[in-house]
Amino acid sequence: MLLSVLIVIFMFLPAIHLLGKHNLTASDWLQLSCVVPFVGLLLWRVNTDDVAAGPLTWLTLGAIVVLGLTLFIAGGQNGTYVTALAISSAICGRYSRTRWPTITVSAICAMAGIAVGTAYHSGFGGTFSAAAVGPLGGFLAYSAARRGETTEMLRRTRAELARAAVAEERLRIARDLHDLLGHSLSLITLKAELVGRLIPADPERAAAEVAELESVARQSLSDVRGAVAGFRQPDLAGELVAARQLLDAAGIASHITSAGIDGLPRDVDAALAWAVREGTTNVVRHSKATQVSIRVGADPAAVTAEISDNGPAVPADLAASSRPAVVTAGPDGRAAVQARPVFAGSGLAGLAERVRSLGGELAAGSVEPQGFLLRVVVPLSPQA
């Protein structure tokens, strides 16, 4: 919008000045006849998202360049429409998909600047300025357009990498669970059937089979926990680093702070690490946020982790199904969360169970007017 306003101002001010003259020359009439279509085509081109190199694009760019050159040449010695020369070259550089159209138009604009400067004896400085303004505008616009395309490509690549990382983790868990449980559950089923047949005939052997059945079930449970946890318990410091890496890969700006997290009990540290992992994963997969804040702090009584983002509000139908908590600012300026459950998803439900097992609290929900907040508080002692 601002660019459109600037174009109108810079292009129509000379035309208004010409209308104030009493005797208009042929050059003046030529300028007045070209300025309206020139500005109209510029505004249409600038406000059109389609930049495909089709016939309409080339026709439009060609018309803009011809009209801009005509305005510059007709403006003559006063150099009123030198801006038209720069804009013509820049618009071609902005919407050309290759550099050759930009080079060609820049060369034409440079030759036009030299010709006009020489014809009107503008001197070395004036001639050089008129010759340089076209190539300068064209190549600056071309480089800016290519840089924008590269940035957009990098953003899409980061998003794809983030999605691929999430998908790979899901595939790993599914693969490990299939490999671990396929044999174990088959063995448990067979032993259960065997115990059912042995109880009437051989109680002692049935008792031995039950003991083996319990051992297999315990080992299967341990294997599942190891597969889900990546064969390790996460630590809070490592998850904060991993969260920053994941958010950076997804192209999401992050602000991560932590204080007093050294020396936490192992189970408390692991619970908060799971909270950071779950909150960060949900942001990348579901929030469509551009900024995320992760704050972890401890005091003598408890340790608190908050993950908040600026994503869009939860839709009404989703809000009705998951009953999200509404998070508002409390009297002291801190976030106050209404105690309404939001644990519809398995991730948050599992996290809530971990936190409750330690005597802590979890709240999650939409923030007014925009965003989402996950807040976990875990006491550092049973008394707290």
Q: What percent of the chain has pLDDT over 70?
A: 78
* Statement to judge: residues 289 and 353 lie in one domain: yes
Counting other chains too, the contacts that 20-27 makes at CB distance below 8 Å and 24 or more residues apart are: 27/74, 27/75, 27/76
Average pLDDT (315-342) is: 40
What span, in angstroms and rounded, lies between the C-alpha atoms of 348 and 344?
A: 7
Same-domain check for residues 220 and 331: no
User: Could you tell me where the beta strands, DSSP code E, fall in the chain?
Assistant: 253-259, 291-298, 302-309, 325-329, 335-337, 361-367, 372-379
Structural domain contains residue 90: yes
Overall domain count for the chain: 3
Q: pLDDT for 237-277, tens place per residue?
A: 888 988 887 787 677 899 999 988 888 888 899 889 889 98
> Which residue range(s) make up the domain with 303?
236-379
Domain-located, residue 384: no
Asked whether residue 305 carries a pLDDT value surpassing 90, the answer given is yes
Is the predicted pLDDT of residue 350 greater than 50, yes or no? yes
Does the structure show a pLDDT above 80 at 21? no
Residue at 344 is within a domain? yes
Does residue 71 lie in a domain region?
A: yes
Asked if the structure places residue 187 within a domain, the reply is yes
pLDDT (tens digit per residue) in 221-230: 877 777 666 6
Higher pLDDT pick, 249 / 146:
146
Are 313 and 343 within one domain?
yes
Q: Answer yes or no: do 103 and 198 share one domain.
A: no
> Is 241 part of any domain?
yes
Specify the higher pLDDT residue, 61 or 334: 61
149-205 pLDDT, tens digit per residue, is: 888 899 889 888 888 888 887 877 776 676 667 667 777 877 788 888 888 888 888
d(CA 16, CA 136): 28
The pLDDT value recorded for residue 255 is 92
Structural contact between residues 302 and 378, judged by C-beta atoms closer than 8 angstroms:
yes
Are residue 51 and residue 147 in the same domain, yes or no?
A: yes
* 252, part of any domain: yes
Strands 253-259 and 291-298: parallel
- Are 35 and 140 within one domain? yes
pLDDT at 320: 37
Q: Of 228, 244, 271, which one is at a domain's C-terminal end?
A: 228
Listed residues 189, 204, 228: the one ending a domain:
228
In the block, tokens 């067979």 appear at 190
Q: Mean pLDDT throughout 115-144?
A: 82
> Would the pTM count as exceeding 0.75?
no
SS3 361: strand
More confident residue, 74 or 230: 74
Q: Are residues 124 and 32 in the same domain?
A: yes
The mean pLDDT of the chain is: 77
What mean pLDDT comes out for the span 32-56? 73
The CATH number of residue 173's host domain is 1.20.5.1930
In 3-state terms the chain splits into helix, strand, coil percentages (rounded to 5) of: 65, 10, 20
Pick from 178, 197, 228: which residue ends a domain? 228
Residues 270 and 325 in one domain: yes
Q: Is the pLDDT of residue 333 over 80?
A: no
Residue 145 CB-half CA count within 13 A: 20
Query: What integer pLDDT is reported at residue 176 of this predicted model?
Result: 64
Query: In this predicted structure, what is the pLDDT of residue 61?
Result: 81
- DSSP letter at 53 equals -
pLDDT at residue 208, rounded to an integer = 85
User: What pLDDT sits at residue 324?
Assistant: 39
